[in-house]
Structure 1
C-alpha cells in the first residue's frame, strides 16, 4: 500500500521561491512507486493568523485542510530561512493542528543564504517534537540556492547535489513512514 506524502510549502511571501523547491521535491518523490504526493501550499489555504480558543469551533479553512494532513503518512516541509528562523505562516499552520502530526515522520527541505536554512531546520525540529512528530535525521539544505540555476533557466542545475540529497531523505522518510504507520495500527498513539 502506497504512503501518502504531504509536501508543505511553508512560505507565503510575495515573490517566494518555495513553490520552485517544493515542486522539484514533489517531482523527486513522485518518481517513487511507493508514494502518493499531495502538495499543500500555505499561500492558498487561507488559514487565519489568529488561533481560536480550544473550546471554539475551528474556522472553515482549518477544517478544510485537516483531512489532507490527517491522511498523510509523512510530511516534507519546505521552508526558507528568514532572520534565522522559519516563516510565521508556517508556525501558524503547525499550531492550528495537533493530532494530524502525531507519530508521523517529517522531512525538512530548507533553503537560505550561506547556511542553507539550518537555523530554521533546528527550530522546526523542536516544534515537531512538541507536536509528537518524528523529524528524520537527514535534511535537504540549499545554501545560496539562487546560484543553482542552469544556463537554460532550469533549477536546480545538474551537479548541485540536490537530487542525491532528496533521494537519501526520501529513503529515510519512507522507512520511518512504514514503521510509524505499522506502529499506529498496532498500538494507537497516546500523547
Structure 2
C-alpha cells in the first residue's frame, strides 16, 4: 500500500513544471529587499508561450526570505498575493491569510499556494506580491535576490520586473529594468 501511495505521489509531482525561476539566493553575501508595513515588494513574471489547448494551472510558488534579524517574539507575519496584468491598487488586505514567520535563519524558503485555481494564460504577465507587518528598521524580513540575471538576451521584452511601495497602502513603483538585473528569488510551479 505504501508503494502505491508513493507511486501516485511521484506521478502527481512529475506533472508539475517550473514556469519561472530567478534561482536561489547566494549562500553567502545574498542581498535583497526589506519587506515591511511601509514597503511591499512584487515580482512580475511571464507565463510561457504554448500551442494547443493544454492549460497550465498555477500550483504554488517558492520564495526565499532572510530572517536572521527579525524579532524572536513570533509576532511577524507576511501576506502574499497573485495578480494578472497589473499591480494592485492597495496592499495589506485584511482578507489575506497571515503567514507567521517563526524561523530565524539566514535563508528560509516559503511555499505559497493560491487560494483558488489560477489558470496561466499563455504569454501573459503576472505579479506576485509580498507584504509584511514589520515596523522596526534592521528587524525586517528580507526577500533575498535570486542569482539569475535578466537582460535583453533572456528577457528581450523586459517582462521580468520588480516593484515596491513607498508607504503603507501606497502606490506601486516599478523599478527600471536595467541590463543584468537581479530580482527577488522566486520559483513558480504549474501543472
Normalising by structure 1, what TM-score? 0.26
Query: Which structure has the greater CA radius of gyration?
Result: 2
More helix by share: 1
Whose strand proportion is higher, 1 or 2?
2
